């Protein structure tokens, strides 16, 4: 365990004016509070907070943060109280320790609703003082470094949480080194075989090609010396997880990956960055489309660097990052650079982002999201996306996440522009709204008076701001339609139990259910947020409301014309409980699609063929066929066991087709008859839990047999 003197020496290296007495007192206090406590590995528990403090000294953080690391578990795990810590070390440190304690108690991998609420708390804690999350990240890094002492199920849980939340958060804060280490440590737990295979490939590659890094860094130094540029050059092989992710994204094997090495050039001045870029491009051929200028257009977290990928005579590609020393400090520590000390004073790094402004930009639209699913989606979109920079026709720069579309561009300018968008031009050429914009492109938004957001836009937009604005507009548009649908549902439900529909009945039900108005009650009925059974029982509690309990096929869909029939589209196979829309065909009934079906793109320019539809609430008597894509183990009795399991979920198998037979696995399509989306979810969950099932998913493809034939 690091001694108090050693820890103080680490701090003194960058902050000679450190309050040694206070750090020593915190060290002794924390050690005494944790006396008799041990980690899973059998080590004294206090080795953990000391190690977290040591990790934070690498980022040259202030005394308050280092002391918080030493005490971060005292309020939660010992007899120490907030008032005791405040009395000994001051309100600032007590508040930081309390903030870390609250973050530790958040169950970030719990249910979606709970997770959304905990994410809100996480961002609230960050907005009060970002140093709280810096300590928490240090805490998670040390726990991941020592994770082998935990039970295997706990290891997997912590690794997934790290991969999904803490590693991306560290990257979003600009702490790229921490993100890479967290990802690699989690990767070691979640896929040890994959990580080992990549490391073995690296060893083999080095034997075949020699020391590539040493050779290329030497060549770069020669070129820079010729150009009269003073700079440091470093090279390294990319982390196993980074390589694994590239293999998955590009769907290629290790041997086909080219840019598995990364090189970094640290220059004296910003001008030297561009001179270095020119020298490298003169010596090696630049790979088109792989240049990014984060110096003139820095990332939100303050990151600045020139990125380019070049290829040599042997065709091998390498990535090169070029930056100044100050840019490098921010690239290494991100927003933590704001608190960095050197020679006893806080470093005035011009590229360090003010944490207050950064967290404000990150959470700007979160408060507007009332729906838990929307909130989580917004968090993930805004936190974990890289950026591209596009220009308005007037030359103004608009920052967007990677993969953004002209529609996102329109909403980034102004919500009003987004709502009125009917098309876009990219670099002067008319393009579809779902086109992915690229760095440096000029985007012109075409608007029209009277245009309103379309539901299909939710699949086109990628930014949280755009999706939030579209959903809000759609909710306002949908309200009138939901009220109309709710009125139909209420009328049919009341008639079914021999009661007459009237405004007074609806008003009485709204009052009994403590709903603000009759229209609000009808809107909730239409949106399937309230059942007709609950509405009827609020007024007639003695009536057993059969409606809502059982729905036959004839009444399954609301919104049809009298005596109009419908058919489910085989391309997306919608089920009761899923949002749907109808497309009309001459001489035929409606074909019902899921709202996110890819085939709907074919009908975007034919709005007269669209019909607003809604599944009836309640339990559906009819069953609907859904195709499942299953990959199962090729062992005796497995197929029979899977069929028995499906039957046990009250699902009937109507057809079965083998797609691929391998010595170890079978892949097959299974047609099952299901009542609704909840029934499908229950069945898929049960199948996923089986060890003999490698993969299971609903088939949502145009290529599915019969899809095109039925839709003609």
Which contacts of 191-197 are long-range, i.e. CB under 8 A and separated by 24 or more positions? 191/244, 194/240, 194/244, 195/240, 195/241, 195/244, 197/254
What is the phi/psi pair of residue 71, to 5°? -110, 5
DSSP state letter for 352: P
Q: The tokens 């240049």 sit on which residue? A: 291
How many angstroms separate the CA atoms of 149 and 142, rounded?
12
What is the phi/psi pair of residue 509, to 5°? -65, -45
Q: Which of 20, 76, 180, 270 is catalytic?
A: 76
Q: Are 559 and 545 in contact (CB under 8 A)?
A: no
Task: Please indicate whether residue 232 is annotated as part of the active site.
Answer: no
Nearest 5°: the CA angle 406, 365, 475 is 75
What is the phi/psi pair of residue 576, to 5°? -50, 135
Q: Are 471 and 456 in contact (CB under 8 A)?
A: no
For residue 307, what are its two tokens?
């990125």
How many angstroms separate the CA atoms of 338 and 478, rounded?
46
What is the phi/psi pair of residue 153, to 5°? -65, -35
3-state secondary structure of 166: helix
3-state secondary structure of 565: coil
3-state secondary structure of 681: helix
Nearest one of 5, 15, 1, 112 to 61, comparing CA atoms: 15
How many angstroms separate the CA atoms of 270 and 367, rounded?
38
Q: Which of 43, 58, 77, 117 is catalytic?
A: 77
What is the phi/psi pair of residue 548, to 5°? 95, -25
How many angstroms separate the CA atoms of 671 and 586, rounded?
29
Q: How far apart are the first and last CA of the chain?
A: 73
For residue 302, what are its two tokens?
């303050």
Residue 466: how many other CB atoms lie within 10 Å: 28
**Strand residues in 325-407 grouped as ranges (E):** 341-342, 345-346, 387-391, 397-401
Q: Are 24 and 12 in contact (CB under 8 A)?
A: no
How many angstroms separate the CA atoms of 168 and 180, rounded?
9
β partners of residue 390: 398
Nearest one of 408, 389, 391, 409 to 399, comparing CA atoms: 389
3-state secondary structure of 158: helix
Q: Are 304 and 351 in contact (CB under 8 A)?
A: yes
- The rounded radius of gyration (Å) of the Cα atoms in the chain is 30
Q: 610-612 and 624-633 as β-strands: parallel, antiparallel, unpaired?
A: unpaired
Nearest one of 634, 705, 631, 629 to 670, comparing CA atoms: 629
How many angstroms separate the CA atoms of 486 and 504, rounded?
15
How many angstroms separate the CA atoms of 334 and 24, rounded?
28
Task: Please indicate whether residue 77 is annotated as part of the active site.
Answer: yes
Which residues are CB-contacts of 426 (< 8 A; sequence separation ≥ 6)? 406, 435, 437, 441, 442, 443, 444
3-state secondary structure of 668: strand
3-state secondary structure of 398: strand
**Strand residues in 449-559 grouped as ranges (E):** 550-551, 557-558
Nearest one of 692, 541, 172, 203 to 380, comparing CA atoms: 172
Active-site positions? 76-77
């Amino acid at each position: 365990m690091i001694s108090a003197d050693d820890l103080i020496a680490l701090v003194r290296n960058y902050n000679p004016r450190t309050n040694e007495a206070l750090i020593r007192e915190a060290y002794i206090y924390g050690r005494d509070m944790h006396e008799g406590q041990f980690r899973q590995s059998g080590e004294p528990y206090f080795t953990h907070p000391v190690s977290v403090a040591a990790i934070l000294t690498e980022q040259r953080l202030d005394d308050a943060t280092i002391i918080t690391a030493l005490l971060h578990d005292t309020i939660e795990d010992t007899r120490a109280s907030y008032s005791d810590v405040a009395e000994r070390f001051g309100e600032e440190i007590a508040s930081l320790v309390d903030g870390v304690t609250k973050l530790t108690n958040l169950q970030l991998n719990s249910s979606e609703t709970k997770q959304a609420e905990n994410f809100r708390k996480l961002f609230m804690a960050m907005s009060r003082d970002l140093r709280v999350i810096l300590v928490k990240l240090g805490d998670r890094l040390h726990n991941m470094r020592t994770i082998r002492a935990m039970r295997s199920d706990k290891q997997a849980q912590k690794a997934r949480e790290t991969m999904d939340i803490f590693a991306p958060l560290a990257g979003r804060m600009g702490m790229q080194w921490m993100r890479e280490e967290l990802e690699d440590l989690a990767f070691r737990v979640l896929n040890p075989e994959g990580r080992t295979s990549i490391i073995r490939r690296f060893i083999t590659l080095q034997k075949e090609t020699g020391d590539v890094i040493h050779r290329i860094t030497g060549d770069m130094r020669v070129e820079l010396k010729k150009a009269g540029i003073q700079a440091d050059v470093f090279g390294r092989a990319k982390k196993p997880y980074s390589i694994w992710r590239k293999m998955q994204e590009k769907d290629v094997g290790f041997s086909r990956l080219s840019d598995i090495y990364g090189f970094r050039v640290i220059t004296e001045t910003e001008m030297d960055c561009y001179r270095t870029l020119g020298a490298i491009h003169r010596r090696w051929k630049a790979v088109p489309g792989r240049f990014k200028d984060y110096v003139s257009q820095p990332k939100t977290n303050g990151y600045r660097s020139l990125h380019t990928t070049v290829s040599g005579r042997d065709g091998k590609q390498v990535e090169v990052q070029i930056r100044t020393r100050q840019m490098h400090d921010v690239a290494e520590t991100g927003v933590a650079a704001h608190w960095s000390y050197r020679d006893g004073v806080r470093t005035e790094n011009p590229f360090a982002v003010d944490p207050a402004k950064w967290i404000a930009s990150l959470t700007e639209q979160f408060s507007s999201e009332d729906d838990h699913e929307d909130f989580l989606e917004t968090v993930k979109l805004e936190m974990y996306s890289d950026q591209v920079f596009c220009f308005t026709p007037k030359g103004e720069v608009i920052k967007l996440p990677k993969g953004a579309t002209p529609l996102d561009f329109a909403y980034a300018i102004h919500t009003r522009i987004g709502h009125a968008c009917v098309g876009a031009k990219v670099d002067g050429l008319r393009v579809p709204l779902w086109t992915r914009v690229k760095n440096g492109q000029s985007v012109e938004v075409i608007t029209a008076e009277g245009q309103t957001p379309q539901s299909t836009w939710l699949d086109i937009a990628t930014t949280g701001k755009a999706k939030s604005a579209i959903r809000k507009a759609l909710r306002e548009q949908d309200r009138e339609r939901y009220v109309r649908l709710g009125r139909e549902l209420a009328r049919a439900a009341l008639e079914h139990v021999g009661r007459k529909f009237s405004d007074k009945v609806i008003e009485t039900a709204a009052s009994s259910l403590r709903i603000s108005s009759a229209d609000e009650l009808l809107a909730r009925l239409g949106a399937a947020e309230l059942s007709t059974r609950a509405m009827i029982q609020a007024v007639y509690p003695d009536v057993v409301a059969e409606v809502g309990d059982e729905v036959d096929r004839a009444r399954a869909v609301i919104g049809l014309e009298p005596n109009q029939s419908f058919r489910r589209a085989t391309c997306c196979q919608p089920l009761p409980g899923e949002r749907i829309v109808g497309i009309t065909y001459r001489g035929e009934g409606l074909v019902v699609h899921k709202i996110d079906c890819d085939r709907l793109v074919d009908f975007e320019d034919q709005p007269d063929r669209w019909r607003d539809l809604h599944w009836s609430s309640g339990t559906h008597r009819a069953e609907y066929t859904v195709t499942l894509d299953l990959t199962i183990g090729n062992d005796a009795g497995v197929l029979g066991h899977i069929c028995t399991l499906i039957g046990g979920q009250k699902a009937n198998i109507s057809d079965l087709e083998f797609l691929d037979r391998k010595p170890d696995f079978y892949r097959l399509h299974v047609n099952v008859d299901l009542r609704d989306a909840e029934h499908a979810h229950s069945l898929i969950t049960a199948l996923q839990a089986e060890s003999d099932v490698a993969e299971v998913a609903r088939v949502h493809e145009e290529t599915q047999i019969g899809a095109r034939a039925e839709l003609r």
